[in-house]
Amino acid sequence: MNPKHAEVEGRPCFPDVRVLPRPADLAILAVDKSRVPEVVRSCGEVGTRNLVIVTAGFKEAGKEGEEREEELRRLVRRYRLNLVGPNCMGIVSSAPSAPLNASFSRWFPKPGGIAFISQSGSLGETVLESFGEMGLGLSLFVNLGNRAGLSENDFLAHLEKDEASRIVFLYLESFADPVGFRRHVERISRTKPVVVLKSGRTQAGAAAVASHTGSLASADAVVDAFLDQCGAVRVTSIVELLRALRALERGALPRGRRVAILTNAGGAGIIAADACERSGIEVPRLPDPARAKLASFLPAEAGLRNPVDMIATAGADHYEAGLRVALSSVDAGIVIFRPPLVLAEAPEAVADAILRAARDVPGKPVLVSTTSRGPSVGPFVARLEAEKVPTYVMPEEAVDALAILVRIGELRDRPRLPQHRPSPDRGRLGGILAGAREEGRASLRFEEGAKVLAGYGIAVCPFAYPTVAEDAALAAAELGFPAVAKVDAPGLFHRFERGAIVTGIRTPEEARDAFQRLSALIEEEAWAGGRVLLQPCLTGRELILGMKRDPSFGPVLMFGVGGTLVEALRDVAFGVAPLSLDQAERMIRSIRAFPLLGAFRGLPPVDLSALARALVRLGNLALDLPLIEEVDLNPFIAGETSAAVDLLIKLQG
């Protein structure tokens, strides 16, 4: 369409969509920003529902642009448009049945199995250019732009069914809707690797939450946890991404973390082994029978442990036999072949030998390093790449790629999340929250909080509210010594600093004294609604369980070892609700202080599944009760029995 021409490059040109003989399947808009709404409207009216808007000057361009985008969103809803953009580079599909290039990208990779969804246009081009250089094959490219219509989630819904797309890569600076994202990626990642480069750590940091528990939160750590829960592997750089995609194209995922390294260059083998250790990949000593087999054909100077150093004289036969032997006892192979000064065969013969051995173990990835990009390795690399055996220059690059394959293999095997079902009690429990809000309170009393937690099966330490000193003595005796007395008053948070807690109460008399002291304090400080709370002193490991509602992710759970450690060491784990038991247990295991939860200095080990259940339930509670802004169970004592000793439940403002 262009009102100024009747023909463009030999094809007929129309002034307007309304004069077309029949509505177009797809309209690509590159008109001036001021004319976009009008053109979109006419598309909607004639029934052209698929649009790509290249034009910029919307949400990203100040107040006027924001208004223009708002108008666009209204048109999308009114005409039920499938809109990509605005402010985008467009889309490319290389499906042989319907090849389509609706973008202004300068690079068009060959067709292949990688679907690439990019929020950024320039980053999209950078990656597409690299695809071309590396020979990576594309199924679909989408530059989302401002996401006024379609978001990454709509394309994910398509990719789940799209057979041509075997690998999904997303570059995102933010999530359009994390809940939808999770639903799609949880499903897709069962059959297709999902790799995400999520940038914007710095910006994310700025949005970091600020409350006590929350102040420990790094928003980026939440993104890490979230992607892991979805079943996606996160990469942090373009270089890492490209290495990983090259390795993913072959489709082989290892079933474990054990690798054999075969090399004809000693130093490179050691560097590969070092890189494995850094990435948590094991380089196990090969079993004796394997070493005996290797010894039967390798020269005496060869190193038979792992790395297997076949020395510079190793030719095709050595590589083939060596790789067969080595792979038999591990999950993957790193092969280093540096063309030596003198070798009877052409390097291609070595490539063919590696291919023969690799083909026979399709479930065990083989990655190759040449330590060179010179002309002598060209045909060797070409031969391997033709069969999608990934090649890298430096050995540590092959190891980095393998680390991602290992990770994706592990993610694929994980149990998936059962669907969250709201609790039948949530109406009653929500009433407690609504009541507190009606009274103008921003947080629950201990007693109320205990009821809400108990409603979700989260144990709370027994407690009593004595009203006179004599009651306190009796109640303490009933709860058991040693006991603790503290002030429970709305809005009173840091009891220790305010002198509002008495610990180590060992006799009824001490309980009476504590009651009197705290009652006097309540009066003195004029803490409205303040009461004295008595509890037995629980013994066990001091932990922290927390929940904070994130504007984007919803309820974010936090776990850490309590006391001074969390604060000093920032040793906490995050998860996004809903959590599966498996995810909760992985959260618990992921903190550095996890060994402290095992049997330790006479203490029995913490009951991990009880602890995991508490985290799962805390997440469910937050999903069911949106009035809750934040929960802080600190300390949560895990001993013979596990229970929250103190609790803080803040309501939405």
Determine the Cα–Cα distance for residues 157 and 187; give it in Å rounded to an integer: 10
Residue 413: how many CB atoms within 10 A of its CB?
10
Contact 567, 213 (CB under 8 A): no
Pick 459 or 593: Cβ nearer its own copies: 593
Query: Tokens in use for 245?
Result: 């995609």
Pick 78 or 589: Cβ nearer its own copies: 589
From the list 5, 106, 359, 506, which residue makes contact with its own copies (rule: CB under 8 A)?
A: 106
Query: Tokens in use for 41?
Result: 């409207």
Q: What angle do CA 124, 130, 136 make, to 5 degrees?
A: 100
Query: Tokens in use for 430?
Result: 């929500």
Pick 14 or 594: Cβ nearer its own copies: 594
Least distance in angstroms from the C-beta of 368 to its own copies: 15
Least distance in angstroms from the C-beta of 371 to its own copies: 4
Least distance in angstroms from the C-beta of 57 to its own copies: 9
Choose the stretch contacting its own copies; rule: CB under 8 A; options: 201-209, 434-442, 459-467, 626-634. Answer: 201-209
Choose the stretch contacting its own copies; rule: CB under 8 A; options: 273-281, 411-419, 439-447, 483-491. Answer: 273-281
Which has the closest alpha carbon to 162: 116, 103, 104, 226? 116
Choose the stretch contacting its own copies; rule: CB under 8 A; options: 39-47, 196-204, 250-258, 531-539. Answer: 196-204
Give the up-direction half-sphere exposure of residue 163: CA atoms within 13 A in the CB hemisphere: 2
Q: Which helix (DSSP H) or strand (DSSP E) does residue 467 occupy?
A: none
Asked if 593 touches its own copies (CB under 8 A), the answer is yes
Least distance in angstroms from the C-beta of 263 to its own copies: 9
Pick 191 or 564: Cβ nearer its own copies: 564
Choose the stretch contacting its own copies; rule: CB under 8 A; options: 68-76, 244-252, 263-271, 422-430. Answer: 263-271
Q: Which residues contact 356 (CB under 8 A, 6 or more apart)?
A: 320
Helix, coil or strand: residue 265: coil
Q: Which residues contact 149 (CB under 8 A, 6 or more apart)?
A: 51, 72, 73, 76, 81, 82, 83, 84, 85
Determine the Cα–Cα distance for residues 205 and 216; give it in Å rounded to an integer: 11
Q: What is the β-pairing status of strands 647-651 and 642-644?
A: unpaired
Asked if 69 touches its own copies (CB under 8 A), the answer is no
Tokens 């947080």 label which residue?
443
Measured in residues, the chain has a length of 653
From the list 13, 30, 207, 239, which residue makes contact with its own copies (rule: CB under 8 A)?
A: 239
Least distance in angstroms from the C-beta of 377 to its own copies: 10
Asked if 203 touches its own copies (CB under 8 A), the answer is yes
From the list 103, 139, 146, 199, which residue makes contact with its own copies (rule: CB under 8 A)?
A: 199
Query: Tokens in use for 612?
Result: 């995991």
From the list 101, 236, 467, 609, which residue makes contact with its own copies (rule: CB under 8 A)?
A: 236
Choose the stretch contacting its own copies; rule: CB under 8 A; options: 178-186, 195-203, 575-583, 637-645. Answer: 195-203
Query: Tokens in use for 473?
Result: 């003595």
Choose the stretch contacting its own copies; rule: CB under 8 A; options: 20-28, 186-194, 248-256, 267-275. Answer: 267-275
Task: State which of positions 432-491 bind its own copies (CB under 8 A).
Answer: none
111 preceded by cis ω (within 30°)?
no
Pick 191 or 202: Cβ nearer its own copies: 202
Task: State which of positions 522-581 bind its own copies (CB under 8 A).
Answer: 564, 567-569
Residue type, 219: A
Asked if 20 touches its own copies (CB under 8 A), the answer is no
Per-residue string for binding with its own copies, 373-402, x by CB under 8 A? xx-------------------xxxx-----
Pick 3 or 496: Cβ nearer its own copies: 496
307 preceded by cis ω (within 30°)?
yes
Task: State which of positions 158-177 bind its own copies (CB under 8 A).
Answer: 171, 173
From the list 99, 205, 422, 626, which residue makes contact with its own copies (rule: CB under 8 A)?
A: 205
By CB atoms closer than 10 A (0-12, 13-18, 19+), residue 174 is middle
Determine the Cα–Cα distance for residues 644 and 635; give it in Å rounded to an integer: 6
DSSP string for residues in 315-373: -HHHHHHHHHHHHTTSSEEEEE----S--SS-HHHHHHHHHHHHHT-TTS-EEEE-S--
From the list 42, 211, 328, 372, which residue makes contact with its own copies (rule: CB under 8 A)?
A: 372
By CB atoms closer than 10 A (0-12, 13-18, 19+), residue 532 is buried
Pick 78 or 201: Cβ nearer its own copies: 201
Tokens 């969804």 label which residue?
117
From the list 125, 249, 542, 630, which residue makes contact with its own copies (rule: CB under 8 A)?
A: 125
Residue 134: how many CB atoms within 10 A of its CB?
16
Contact 559, 544 (CB under 8 A): yes
Choose the stretch contacting its own copies; rule: CB under 8 A; options: 5-13, 277-285, 459-467, 582-590. Answer: 277-285
Asked if 110 touches its own copies (CB under 8 A), the answer is no
Least distance in angstroms from the C-beta of 499 to its own copies: 13
Asked if 129 touches its own copies (CB under 8 A), the answer is yes
Pick 83 or 336: Cβ nearer its own copies: 336
List of residues contacting its own copies (CB under 8 A)? 60-62, 104, 106, 118-126, 129, 133, 171, 173, 197, 199-203, 205, 236-239, 265-268, 270-271, 273-278, 283, 300-301, 312, 338, 341, 371-374, 394-397, 564, 567-569, 592-593, 595-596, 600-601
